[in-house]
A and B are shown apart, each in its own frame.
Chain A
Amino acid sequence: MNTKVNLAGVELENPVMTASGTFGSGMEYGKFVDLNNLGAVVTKGVANVPWEGNPVPRVAEVYGGMLNAIGLQNPGIDLFVKRDLPFLAKYNTKVIVNVCGRTLEDYLEVVERLGDEDTVDMLEINISCPNVKEGGIAFGQNEKSVEHVTKEIKKIAKQPVIMKLSPNVTDITVMAKAAEAGGADVVSLINTITGMKIDIERQTFVLANKTGGMSGPAVKPVAVRMVYQVANAVKIPIIGMGGISTAEDAIEFMLAGATAVSVGTANFVNPYTTKEVVDGIKSYMNSHNITDINSVIGAVR
């Protein structure tokens, strides 16, 4: 049975990764699951300097999902390189560092800095965070800007570059094509869908940030649809995510065209989810007489 998949020349043991921001750098969840068994760990977004993030409350539950407005709190690249990368280097898994920034220069500084780090297998560029005023989504909602940012990052990046796309656009295929045109090696989607929750007793917003990114099982059909559309629009591989909590969900994304999948919010619901998805994919392959997981990718046209 072959569970290996290839993302821009990087071979993953299996297609299961973690969604940025839901898994830290693996230190906490590594106490529940063996990180060696994951296709890749995708870290929480890291910027050139430490970010404090948004005021609390930063999360709210909604039907079948949650809203978050963490605001990309992160310790900055210096501490990340000193502490998080050596931790991840101990594991036999691929390491994908999610990069965030307020300006193009911020992104470039982090990308350049990570160029010399052997532990880092790929970079994921967050141009789609809905919870920060500058950077993030500001880069991801305009195709010219997506292409420009991608191009500039590709000029200096030493690792393959994944552009993480926002669903908060009129047509996500336009952004995917722009990333491809800019030289992106891979696209990942979807980031969270901007939402809002109002407390009717207090007559106020539940989140201090007013809006937050929606994730969890309820967003899955939207994500599957977008992965399918993007798979039909670009030639580069896709990392699919959005509401994956079981192997069946993961297979659905792969059938729609994803080469790899990320488990995000489901980690909060069950810290063993990543392991269960890896095991479940193997069971699915067994019961469906599938010898190579690659035959599932984009099988539904």
Chain B
Amino acid sequence: MSIKYQEIAEITSQEEISDGIFSMWIKTENIAKNAVAGQFVSLYSSDSASILPRPISICEVKDDKSGLRLVYRVAGKGTSEFSGLKEKDTIKVLGPLGNGYTLKNETAMLIAGGIGVPPIVELAKQLHQKGIKDIKAVVGYRSELFLKEELEKYCNVYVATEDGSSGVKGNVMDAIRENGLTADVVYACGPKPMLKAVSDYAKQNDIEAQISLEERMACGIGACLACVCKSKEVDEHSNVKNKRICADGPVFDSREVEL
């Protein structure tokens, strides 16, 4: 686990890239330098009545490691406040948090749904830089697409939409089936039903799947035990069949956890 830093970061840009989905670049001293694909940061509200940090996944790390791109959905008061921040405004950030994806030297399929898409952008970039030739991204949306162009820089992108407005009508598993896609390793981020389907798919095909989970968090650093998931075996830290998503994850081998 990397060292965590609390910083007051400056916003360098903010835009709405899809309905209710915002993309914000922030300038950081140390967080970006230490961040890897699949990790997240905690963002703090400036309203003292909103006490808990908001965990937000890292979408991209700037090439010179001087900043982070955070793509998030406005889901409540905190994220709504963040979406109103402008260039030169500042925000309190803690990170990088959690463990990211473990990059393998094998053909890769990145599967993501909805607001699970952002973290696979940095992952695709890293896999591409690592020299992995065969990288596919399978991304699912309700209707409107976002971050597709970013992904296309590093891999072949297959789309599924619930309303059939782009790509395959249905979900990411439908897209995998209809396009006859396979890979040696699967990396996934998205809603729980999707991750469950990905885990089952990996099991049936006997391939490795690294899945990123989310849960309501408080501390974000492994102390409060709020954001646990069920593990198949007794966990070394908790001594029960619980793992901490913030500290032991958010990325887990699908064989380790019960969804």
Which residues of A are in contact with B by a Cβ distance under 8 Å? Answer: 21-24, 27-29, 31-32, 44, 50-53, 56-61, 63-66, 68, 70, 73, 75-76, 79, 216-218, 265, 267-272
Which residues of B are in contact with A by a Cβ distance under 8 Å? Answer: 3-4, 6, 44, 48-53, 94, 215-229, 237-242, 247
| B238 lies within 8 A of A75 (CB) | yes
B38 to chain A, nearest CB (A): 20
| B51 lies within 8 A of A58 (CB) | no
The answer for the CA separation of A130 and B175 in the assembled complex, in Å, is 47
The answer for the CA separation of A169 and B50 in the assembled complex, in Å, is 28
The answer for the CA separation of A32 and B226 in the assembled complex, in Å, is 20
The answer for the CA separation of A21 and B219 in the assembled complex, in Å, is 11
B residues near A265, Cβ cutoff 8 Å: 51
B residues near A51, Cβ cutoff 8 Å: 240
A74 to chain B, nearest CB (A): 8
Residue of B nearest to A56 (CB): B215
Residue of A nearest to B52 (CB): A61
Known: A64-B49, A66-B51. A53 touches B224 (CB 8 A): no
The answer for the CA separation of A283 and B224 in the assembled complex, in Å, is 30
B residues near A217, Cβ cutoff 8 Å: 48, 51
Residue of A nearest to B235 (CB): A75
Given A23, A24, A58, A270, which contacts B226 in the complex, CB threshold below 8 Å?
Answer: A58
| A22 lies within 8 A of B226 (CB) | no
B222 to chain A, nearest CB (A): 5
Known: A23-B223, A52-B240, A271-B94. A59 touches B217 (CB 8 A): yes
Residue of B nearest to A71 (CB): B225
A255 to chain B, nearest CB (A): 22
| A59 lies within 8 A of B49 (CB) | no
B89 to chain A, nearest CB (A): 20
Q: Which 3 A-B pairs have the closest CB atoms?
A: A75-B239, A24-B223, A59-B226
Given A75, A218, A268, A270, which contacts B224 in the complex, CB threshold below 8 Å?
Answer: A268
Given A44, A56, A63, A271, which contacts B216 in the complex, CB threshold below 8 Å?
Answer: A56
Residue of B nearest to A70 (CB): B225
A residues near B217, Cβ cutoff 8 Å: 59
Known: A66-B52, A68-B226, A268-B52. A75 touches B44 (CB 8 A): no
| B216 lies within 8 A of A59 (CB) | yes
A residues near B228, Cβ cutoff 8 Å: 53, 56, 58, 73
Residue of A nearest to B245 (CB): A56
Given B3, B218, B219, B226, which contacts A28 in the complex, CB threshold below 8 Å?
Answer: B219
Residue of A nearest to B77 (CB): A61
The answer for the CA separation of A79 and B240 in the assembled complex, in Å, is 11
| B215 lies within 8 A of A268 (CB) | no
Given A27, A66, A271, which contacts B6 in the complex, CB threshold below 8 Å?
Answer: A271
| B221 lies within 8 A of A64 (CB) | no
| A57 lies within 8 A of B215 (CB) | yes
B144 to chain A, nearest CB (A): 21
Residue of A nearest to B246 (CB): A28
| A79 lies within 8 A of B239 (CB) | yes
A residues near B52, Cβ cutoff 8 Å: 59, 61, 66, 268-269
Extra A-B contacts (10), CB below 8 Å, given A29-B223, A59-B52: A53-B228, A56-B226, A56-B227, A57-B215, A57-B216, A66-B52, A68-B224, A68-B226, A268-B219, A269-B51
Given A50, A216, A218, A267, which contacts B223 in the complex, CB threshold below 8 Å?
Answer: A267
